[in-house]
Amino acid sequence: KTPASSDSVFINQWGFLPHQNKLAVLSSDTVRSFTVTDLKTNQAVMKSKTELNGTWQEAGKAVALADISGITSPGEYRLSVEGASPQIFAVRPDNYATIHDAAIKAYYYARAGVALDPAFAGKWHRPAGHPDNSVKVLDLPDLPASPRQKGWYDAGDYNKYVVNSGITTYTLLRAYLDHPAFYRERYWNIPESMNERADILDEILWNLDWLVTMQADDGGVYHKLTTLDFAGPVMPHKATKTRYATAKSTAATLNFAAVMSAAARVFEDKREVYLDAARQALEWVRQHPQRYYRNEQNVHTGEYGDTYLEDEFRWARIEYAISTSNSEALRAQVQTLPAVSTPSWASVDSLGYLSVLNDAQALLSSSDYQKVKTALLDYADHQVNIMQAHALRVPTVVSDFVWGSNAVMMNKAMLLEVAFALEKRSRYRDASLALVDYISGRNLTGFSFVTGFGSRSPRFIHHRPSQADNIADPVPGWLVGGPQNGHQDECKYPSDMPAMSYLDAWCSYSTNEVAINWNAPLVYVLASISAMPDT
Ligand code: G3I
Ligand code: 9MR
């Protein structure tokens, strides 16, 4: 008989804020007693029993909860549940800011075209790769090659994709726009940390400088800058195959227009340049509303293909209308907004919502503004309802478990944070913190899903530099894609259940890759919680 003491307790591995709800979960169908011990005094500070809370269908497991919310004093504690191995947890007033800094610093590690200096990158320093100083357009060999330098690598691969860059850059701009005071105070040791600008703006500029180079003279935007095939697991400077700008696409051009418009509100000195680029992009899509991108015959890298572009059209037009203070145009777009949905690279309507709510109140009638706000609050209330009925008390549903599921969770948390900022209802913050708990350990895999944080975090991520650098620790601060049972790679998975199908292995690009668009909502959420810690 297996000794019951091998049972696991799953809990946030990053630490809790003093007054947040605190739940530990077990996969168990028996009630057990538990004790919380203060590690400093070695005194028991709580004795109670777990409660059975049904089955988590997505994991196929019965779940019991240990509610330790009563522990509010900062410190370190041991949770001992009868029949299970003890777990250590911490309570800290300023718990998430350090992880925030790591999550945004990940973008520095992802910079293309520059060497990472040990002074900033520590043991993850590396030579420069992918100068991209002379890039041809794939199908137009007669066009002169152009510089398309800088930018971030998309993910575990080294290509630069405009569509995915769009939601990423916007989300980081959003973090700054919504929490400027927080960002004026924080530094995470990048080469620009000593200048006048907030570090996050310097990081964003690294990518914007590349993004502007992807626009052709006619206003259209090349879909991506890529090699024909994915490189092997080598360092950037060893991945030297020719890179091309591919065909232009409507999706890329719309994402570009949206980001340029939003950036025009942030970077005063570049306002005219960015607005001009956005205007030309919007003109191009009027002529080419259906240039759907498919990989060219000889191209086998990420496609980011999308044939439903009404959301991208709306988002781009909303951003441009806001930045040009065009009430009438904005009103027309707002009339057609559908219900709020969780954002993703392919589904961007909610990004427009966020801009309307936080940057455009003055441009709308109060009834139009209220309508938009109510739509977001409805979404937030819906998440709260899901949470309350959930075996783990986390707002997740089966359809969240797609490629990049952890980012689905963080995008939900971002919308909940915005709802919380607008309308200080603590249940929105509870739901957002429950999602942070989920990615930091309150799940049934045993993992905290951010590299370098937690007692057990991913080690063998699908990230070429981490795989190739001969350094045991992966590059820190990256949120991995997370559980989902599509099994779109060659790994053998421990489970077929959506919420259990995760593998910490290089082969698992469908669950263990990292990506700029997945880290961005993590950055947003941790900034928002750190900037407004009170619930
Ligand atoms: O559109 C269908 C939808 O109709 C269906 O209901 C659903 C069911 O699973 O699938 C949807 O398609 C999914 C698609 O994403 C759109 O969400 C595919 O199954 C899924 O395989 C696909 O995953 C994308 C993956 O690339 C493969 O194309 C991820 O979203 C995307 O994040 C990921 O991005 C890759 C880049 O291509 C290359 N660089 C790394 C990056 C991260 O892994
Ligand atoms: O490494 C690639 C990863 O970045 C992509 O997300 C993934 C899906 O497009 O593809 C990976 O590359 C794999 C290729 O598609 C198939 N052969 C194995 C490659 C990874 O080792």
Confidence (pLDDT) at 5? 53
Catalytic positions are 504, 513
**pLDDT greater than 50 at residue 1:** no
Interatomic CA distance for residues 487 and 408, integer angstroms: 18
**pLDDT greater than 90 at residue 144:** yes
Tell me the ligand closest to 462's alpha carbon: 2
- Could you read off the pLDDT of 164-183 as tens digits, one per residue? 999 999 999 999 999 999 99
Interatomic CA distance for residues 518 and 404, integer angstroms: 7
**pLDDT greater than 60 at residue 316:** yes
Percent of the chain with pLDDT over 70: 99
Confidence (pLDDT) at 2? 41
Confidence (pLDDT) at 7? 85
Average pLDDT over residues 77-82: 98
Confidence (pLDDT) at 76? 98
Residue 133: how many other CB atoms lie within 10 Å:
11
Confidence (pLDDT) at 460? 98
3-state secondary structure string, 96-121? CHHHHHHHHHHHHHCECCCCECHHHH
Average pLDDT over residues 482-491: 98
Could you identify the atom of ligand 2 that is nearest to the CA of residue 464? Answer: 1
Distance 305 CA to ligand 1 centre (A): 9
Q: Which tokens go with 478?
A: 């990256």
Average pLDDT over residues 358-380: 98
- Could you read off the pLDDT of 254-271 as tens digits, one per residue? 999 999 999 999 999 999
Interatomic CA distance for residues 299 and 436, integer angstroms: 37
Pocket of ligand 2 (CB under 6 A): 155-157, 230, 302, 509, 513
pTM above 0.95, yes or no: yes
- Average pLDDT value over all residues in the chain: 97
Could you identify the atom of ligand 2 that is nearest to the CA of residue 506? Answer: 21
Distance 161 CA to ligand 1 centre (A): 14
pLDDT-derived band at 3, boundaries 50, 70, 90 = very low
Percent of the chain with pLDDT over 90: 98
Interatomic CA distance for residues 298 and 291, integer angstroms: 19
Distance 223 CA to ligand 2 centre (A): 19
Q: Are strands 244-245 and 136-137 parallel, antiparallel or unpaired?
A: parallel
Confidence (pLDDT) at 43? 98
Out of 153, 159, 403, mutate this one to test ligand 1's pocket (max ligand atoms within 8 Å of CB): namely 403
Average pLDDT over residues 138-159: 97
Distance 229 CA to ligand 2 centre (A): 9
Beta-bridge partner residues of 34: 48, 81
Contact in structure between 26 and 81 (CB atoms under 8 Å): yes
Interatomic CA distance for residues 17 and 93, integer angstroms: 5
Tell me the ipTM for this assembly.
0.95
Interatomic CA distance for residues 295 and 301, integer angstroms: 8
